[in-house]
Amino acid sequence: MTTTRITLKDLVGDTDAFFRDHWATQPAVFRASADLTGLITEQEMWEEVDCGLLIRPYFTAFDEGVRTAVSEMTRSRTIVGHHVPGYINPGQIKADFAAGGTFKFSQPEHWHPRLRALVQALAPEFRAELESFVFLSPPGKTAIAAHMDGSHVLVLQIAGVKDWVVGRLDETSTSDSDRYTGGVIPYDRRMEVTLRPGDVLYMPHGTPHSATARIGTSLHIAVTIEEPTPQDLANVFLAELLGLPEFEALTRHHHELSPAERLTRLRALLTRTLGAADGTQVLKQAVRLKAGHLG
């Protein structure tokens, strides 16, 4: 199966308007101009299950927020004489799904070519780490109670129909990744939308949400967009500072200085380092650090 390269424009239309009117402010629904059905299919997912080569953490199963025990959804395989745990247990996954559970692929862009192409095509639009997740849910089930994700999210509905309850951001909103306090999103600060194949939902960082599959088996892709935090940026600055010859010299001779002199020299060095930093490069380094590309 092949598909054309899908860009952010194909998902949200006018990208300038998307970033101006919606990014980091309020959730919104769009209609994709590209055919999303070629990205992945339910049949493909079950073929991957039957193949038996998927290994944790690239899959999981859960029902109403309760994850199937790892010991039940996995089994061991003997590979070149070595006992290797963590491989998918097809029988358990299928039984959980038949009982109403949701089956999920985590970060399939690591091994699925079309989803890798999707993530790679979207990445240049953001200064962030992008990951994908695929959710397969039977009708009539709410996989997880209202919760928040610690990232921006683009939801691409591939098959089936799914109802979403999405909270609007206000002064009380937080960016925590956690269950939504109180469990029920208030009616006066929510939007209710029904996604059908080809629909795209954008949710800003920290948006509370829940979803229920309605008609047919629901298949959707969630692309998470996680921007560097202040701590990520600080770590980049700190790494650069620690590598400077001036800092090494200060460390080598700090015992010759009074505490006040150490503070003065370190403050001056830090000020020069921050002032001379290339903002674009700092952001790139922070994104790479977040994605685990740096030691």
Quickly state the pLDDT bin for 172 (edges 50, 70, 90).
Answer: low
Q: What is the mean pLDDT of residues 218-238?
A: 83
Provide the pLDDT for residue 293. 46
Domain 8-43+99-226 class in CATH = mainly beta
> At CA 9, angle to CA 6 and CA 12, rounded to 5?
105
Closest CA to 8 of 135, 128, 106, 159: 128
What pLDDT shows up at residue 32?
A: 97
Q: Which amino acid appears at position 240 of this protein?
A: E
pLDDT tens-place string over residues 103-130: 999 999 999 999 999 999 999 999 888 9
Q: How many CA atoms lie within 13 A of 101 on its CB side?
A: 20
Rounded Cα gap, residues 142 and 22, in angstroms: 26
pLDDT in tens, 183-192: 678 788 889 9
* 230-242 and 279-290 helices, crossing angle to 10°: 110
CB 174 within 8 A of CB 148: yes
How sure is the predictor about 292, in pLDDT bands with cuts at 50, 70 and 90?
A: low
Tell me the average pLDDT across 177-186: 65
Residue 72 pLDDT: 94
Q: How confident is the model at residue 49 (pLDDT cuts 50, 70, 90)?
A: very high
User: Domain coordinates of the chain in residue numbers?
Assistant: 8-43+99-226, 230-290
Instruction: Give me the pLDDT at residue 294, please.
Output: 38
The answer to whether the Cα torsion of 181, 183, 188, 190 is positive or negative is positive
pLDDT at 174: 62
d(CA 57, CA 61): 11
Q: What is the 3-state secondary structure (H, E, C) of the chain?
A: CCCCCCCHHHHHCCHHHHHHHCCCCCCEEEECCCCCCCCCCHHHHHHHHHHCCCECCCEEEEECCEECCHHHHEEEEEECCEEEEEEECHHHHHHHHHCCCEEEEECHHHCCHHHHHHHHHHHHHCCCEEEEEEEEECCCCECCCCEECCCEEEEEEEEEEEEEEEECCCCCCCCCCEECCCCCCCHHHEEEEEECCCEEEEECCCCCEEEEEEEEEEEEEEEEEECCCHHHHHHHHHHHHHCCHHHHHHHHHHHHCCHHHHHHHHHHHHHHHHHHCCHHHHHHHHHHHHCCCCC
Inform me whether the pLDDT recorded for 282 exceeds 90.
no
Tokens read off for 289: 């650090």
The answer to whether the predicted template modeling score (pTM) of the entire model surpasses 0.85 is no
What's the mean pLDDT when you consider all of the chain? 87
Share of the chain above pLDDT 90, in %: 53
More confident call, 142 vs 75? 75
* Main-chain phi, psi angles of 20, to 5 degrees: -75, -45
Are 250 and 265 contacting, i.e. CB atoms less than 8 angstroms apart? Answer: yes
pLDDT at 196 over 50: yes
